[in-house]
Every structure is written in structure tokens, then in C-alpha cells.
Chains A and B, each alone.
Chain A
Amino acid sequence: MKFLVVDDSVTMRRIIINALERIGYAEAVEAANGHDALGIFDQSFGFIITDWNMPTMSGLEFARTVRATPFGQTIPILMVTTRGAREDIVAAVEAGVNNYILKPFTPSVLKDKIDRLLAGVSAAA
């Protein structure tokens, strides 16, 4: 399973990738914003973890754009962000985000969300 980790903070990307390695997912590619991520996104990826607030292209816009691509309609998108207002969360749902983690988070929360989303993908397949 190849992950695409999108966050403008190098620290956050390293934290997420480290957590992924600890829960058994060693293959991850990182990007600093939605625009860069779109440049490398293809059907080889099985999971997207994205921040919301990023320069150039936000995570919300990135999610919408991914959903509009032929191979981005079913890929699980997990948003990891500080934005906890109800209207923000609803906007994420409407943009096509599958689940949502509020920072600061623990690796166990990350694992739980990934497991649930992947279980959903398996059930749908």
C-alpha cells in the first residue's frame, strides 16, 4: 500500500510517515502542498493523507481535484488538520474527504482511521 502524505510542515510529514512505518506501512511519498501532490498523484497510490492549510493549493481543493480525476474517485482520503469547526468538517465531507483527524493526534488514532478506511475499501471491492 503506497501512501501520499501531503503537508506543508516537514515536521508533520516526518511524524506521519514515522507513525505509518510503526503501524506497518513503509511505503510513503510526500508532497508539500496540493499542487505538488497533484503533480505526482497517479493510480499507484492507495491512500492519501492530507493537511488542510497549505500554500499554493489547500487540502480541500486538492481533495476536490483528486475526486475529479478518473483514478481518484475511490481512493481513501484522510484529512489531518487543526481545523475543528463544524462547518470546516462539513466542507471536508463535501469535498470528498473520507475521514478526519484533529491535530494533535496520537499514532493509535491514525491507525484506527486508516484501518477503518481500508476495511471499507475491502468491503466495497
Chain B
Amino acid sequence: MRPPEELLYDSEASLRLVDHAIEELNTSGTDLDDDARSFLEHVMSQPGGFAELSRTLLRAYAETAGIANRLRDSCGIAENGGLDRLQQMHGRLREVSTATETAATDMLDGLGRTVDLIEQLDVNATLSDTDRHRMLASVRDELGGVMNHLQFQDITSQQLGHIASLLSEMRGRINQIVTIFAQPDTRFVADDLVTGSFDPHATTAPSGDRQAIADEIFAIRADRKTA
């Protein structure tokens, strides 16, 4: 298939040749029958004649090429990280959902064990002071553990903050696409990007491995200070 620019160039050249031939016919004084002369006069009376047709073709091509470029731009905007962002958001939302459920289950388990301990304390009048203190300490530990599980709220709020920023970025990209196809006089109010104080890599996963790296780095620092 020939490229459109080449076809357009050939069409325009052909039309110019036809236009030139008609012009010559008109001015050469060649004998023409009445019908041919009338047709010729009609053609020549049109503003611009055939030459104008070639310019119209050029304008149409320019508009078509512009639309094609805008389509390419919008595809680029969608491809340039947009799909990755959606995938990231999906992963993050799943993590938040799982973390919430795990924390809720752990807290319920802790509260269940606390209730059991309190019932034992309540019904068992023969407990020694030592056993009673041991059980009370267990109650405190269980309740402390329940409170500690609430850390998930801080971590998942950072994960949700990250999702909100990704959504804000996506909204900006969609606005760019809409602006490409909108009427020239349409004005879109740009939203402020959501920027927050969140860690994009926040995770509720156990921190043991990451803590080990931190401890190693701080140990090296301590060694350097004492050296």
C-alpha cells in the first residue's frame, strides 16, 4: 500500500496538470463546440478551479493526519505507565484487604484468649497468688498484643495514600486524552496531584528481614564511630 503522502502528492500533481490543460484550452482559442465551451466556462468560473480542489485535498489530509497523530499521542499516554499503575493499584488494594483481615483475625484471637484467661481467673478460686499474677500478666500481654496489631492501620493508610496518588496521576493522564479530543473551546480544570507523606513501599509483611538490614547498617556505623 502506498503511503498517503505519496498518493496525495500524485493526486495534487495530476489535478494541477488538468487545471493547467483547461487553462490552456481556454486561452488558446482552439475551436470547441458549444457544450465544451460552456463546460469550460463553468469550470473556470468556479472560485479557484481545479487548483482549489487540490488545496481542499491538502486541508483534508492535514486534518486527517492531525487526528491520527492525536490518536497516537493518546495511545502513548495510556501505554506510558498507565497500565502498570492500574496493576500496582490492584496489587496494593489486595494487600490492604488481606492485611485488614489478618489484623482483625489476630485481634479477635487475642481477645478470645483474654476472655478465656479472665474466665479462668473468675471461676478458679483455688489459684495461688503466683498463678494469679502469671495469668494477669498473660492478660496484659494479650491486650498489649491486640493494641500492637493496630499498627496495620498506619501501614494500610500509607498504602491507600499511595493508591490515591496513583489514581490522581491516572486522572491527569485521562484528562490529557480527553483534552486531545475535546472541542477547541473546552477547558478542563486541572486537578492538583495528590501528594502525601506516605511510603509507596509500605508493607504489613513481617519486618524481620528489613530490620536485619537496618541493624547491620547501624552496627557498621557504630563500629566506625568507635574505631
Contact = CB atoms under 8 A, between A and B. Distances in A.
Contacts of A26: none
For A53, A81, A101, A105, which residue has the most chain B Cβ atoms within 10 angstroms? Answer: A53
Contact of B214 (A7, A15, A84): A84
Query: Which secondary structure dominates where chain B touches chain A?
Result: helix
Contact of A89 (B153, B201, B213): B213
B218 A103 contact: no
Interface residues of A, number: 35
A104 B124 CA distance: 36
A99 B197 contact: no
B197 A103 contact: no
A55 B140 CA distance: 34
For A9, A81, A98, which residue has the most chain B Cβ atoms within 10 angstroms? Answer: A9
A89 B214 contact: yes
A120 B19 CA distance: 96
A107 B149 CA distance: 11
Interface in A1-26: 7-9, 11-12, 14-15, 18-19, 22
Contacts, number: 88
B202 A106 contact: no
A124 B196 CA distance: 39
A103 B148 contact: no
Contact of A9 (B154, B204, B211, B215): B154
A15 B150 contact: yes
A107 B147 CA distance: 10
A101 B150 CA distance: 16
B154 A103 contact: yes
Contacts of A11: 150-151, 153-154
For A7, A84, A89, A93, which residue has the most chain B Cβ atoms within 10 angstroms? Answer: A84
B159 to A, nearest CB: 9
A107 B218 contact: no
Contacts of B155: 82, 103-104
A53 B218 contact: no
Interface in A56-105: 58, 81-86, 89-90, 93, 98-105
Given A11-B153, A52-B199, 7 more contacts: A82-B155, A84-B214, A85-B201, A86-B213, A102-B211, A103-B154, A104-B155
Nearest 8 A/B pairs, CB to CB: A84-B210, A102-B207, A82-B202, A9-B154, A100-B214, A104-B151, A53-B197, A12-B154
